[in-house]
Amino acid sequence: MKTSNSAFRALADGTRRKILTMLRTGPRTSGEIAAKFDSSWPTISRHLAVLREAGLVSTERRGQEIYYELNTSVFQDLAQYLMEWGATGGTEVPAPSRRTAARRVDKPQEA
Is 1 a residue whose pLDDT tops 60? no
Mean pLDDT score of the chain, rounded to an integer? 80
Task: Kindly report, residue by residue over 46-95, the tens digit of the pLDDT.
Answer: 999 999 999 999 999 999 999 999 987 776 666 676 777 677 776 666 55
Asked whether the beta carbons of 74 and 88 are under 8 A apart, the reply is no
Rounded (5°) CA angle 34-106-109: 75
pLDDT reported for residue 110: 45
Asked whether the beta carbons of 24 and 33 are under 8 A apart, the reply is no
CA-based nearest residue to 55, from 96, 111, 92, 110: 96
Q: What is the length of the chain?
A: 111
Q: Which residues 6+ apart lie within 8 Å of 22 measured at CB?
A: 28, 33, 36
Going along the chain from its start, the domains and CATH numbers come out as 2-101 (1.10.10.10)
Q: Please tell me whether the overall predicted TM-score, pTM, comes out greater than 0.75 for this model.
A: no
